[in-house]
């Protein structure tokens, strides 16, 4: 239940009024998505790798193959930056300079730890599935010991970091508001499309409720 630690390296300096450090905002940004980008360093080279994530309490988790370069690189205990970005709109202003985006983002810095306990990994992977599709995990066969072993889970506290939120109409220079240029927001919408069944779906298998569109 702690807010984000606002350190010299994470507090928002430029457009600082967009900075948010309360845990409720951090959670809301996390719970609105499932794709993050993680920055980490291997042999001096920075990498930004996309991966899926989930939240439990005030920790974030991501997973992958135990053999992946990213997860092997993170095992060493080095710091990573975990970033989630939701773009809500593009901003068309009256001057090129004030074109911008409306977004909610969260950046966390920390040292991820690997989840070692196999039973705990089993439970957590189920949580991840159910978070996306409530109730689905109970319908799946349990993971085998080999599958659990091949899956690495990294976790990191929601601790040091900052959220940044940009919202509202274009902010133009006062003397530009009289220009006859269309200005406003172009909303960016991310949604799920109609499910596409596997060609080898067992005949008679019904589409689960959690995949039905809300009509």
Which residues inside 122-161 make contact with its own copies, applying CB under 8 A?
Answer: 125-126, 129, 132-133, 136-137, 139-141, 143-144, 147, 150-151
Closest distance between its own copies and the C-beta of residue 39, in Å? Answer: 4
Closest distance between its own copies and the C-beta of residue 58, in Å? Answer: 20
CA torsion, points 130, 136, 139, 145, in degrees to nearest 10?
-40
CA torsion, points 117, 119, 125, 126, in degrees to nearest 10?
-160
Task: Based on the shown chain and the rule CB under 8 A, indicate whether residue 5 belongs to the binding site for its own copies.
Answer: no
Q: Quick one: CA dihedral 187, 190, 191, 193, positive or negative? A: positive
Identify which range of 22-30, 60-68, 111-119 contacts its own copies by CB under 8 A: 60-68
Query: Judging by beta carbons within 10 Å of its beta carbon (0-12, 13-18, 19+), is residue 154 exposed, middle or buried?
Result: buried
Closest distance between its own copies and the C-beta of residue 23, in Å? Answer: 21
Pair 70, 80: CB distance under 8 Å? no
Q: Count other C-beta atoms under 10 Å from residue 184's C-beta.
A: 12
Task: Based on the shown chain and the rule CB under 8 A, indicate whether residue 18 belongs to the binding site for its own copies.
Answer: no
**193 or 214, CB closer to its own copies?**
193
The residue from 57, 116, 119, 194 that contacts its own copies (CB under 8 A) is: 194
Residue 201 dihedral angles phi and psi, to the nearest 5°: -55, 135
Closest distance between its own copies and the C-beta of residue 1, in Å? Answer: 26
Residue 212 dihedral angles phi and psi, to the nearest 5°: -75, 135
Given the structure tokens 């900075």, which residue do they identify?
Answer: 19
**154 or 170, CB closer to its own copies?**
170
Q: Tell me the per-residue interface mask from 83 to 122 with its own copies, x by CB under 8 A, - otherwise.
A: x-x-x-xx-x-xxxx-x-x-x-x-x-x-------------
Residues in the chain: 215
Applying CB under 8 A, what is the total number of residues that bind its own copies? 93
Identify which range of 9-17, 23-31, 54-62, 111-119 contacts its own copies by CB under 8 A: 9-17
């Amino acid at each position: 239940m702690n807010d984000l630690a606002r350190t010299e390296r994470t507090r928002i300096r430029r457009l600082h009024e967009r900075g948010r450090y309360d845990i409720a905002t951090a959670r809301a940004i996390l719970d609105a998505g499932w794709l993050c980008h993680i920055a980490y360093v291997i042999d001096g080279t920075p990498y930004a790798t996309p991966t899926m994530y989930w939240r439990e309490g005030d920790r974030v988790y991501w997973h992958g193959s135990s053999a992946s370069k990213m997860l092997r690189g993170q095992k060493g205990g080095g710091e990573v930056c975990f970033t989630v970005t939701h773009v809500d709109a593009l901003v068309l202003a009256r001057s090129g300079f004030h074109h911008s985006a409306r977004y909610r983002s969260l950046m966390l810095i920390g040292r991820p730890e690997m989840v070692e306990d196999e039973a705990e990994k089993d439970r957590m992977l189920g949580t991840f599935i159910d978070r996306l599709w409530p109730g689905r995990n109970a319908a799946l066969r349990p993971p085998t010991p080999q599958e659990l072993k091949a899956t690495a889970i990294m976790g990191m506290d929601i601790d040091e970091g900052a959220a940044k939120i940009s919202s509202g109409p274009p902010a133009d220079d006062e003397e530009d508001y009289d220009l006859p240029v269309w200005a406003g927001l172009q909303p960016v919408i991310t949604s799920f499309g109609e499910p596409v069944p596997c060609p080898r779906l067992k005949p008679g298998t019904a589409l689960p409720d959690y995949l039905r569109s809300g009509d």
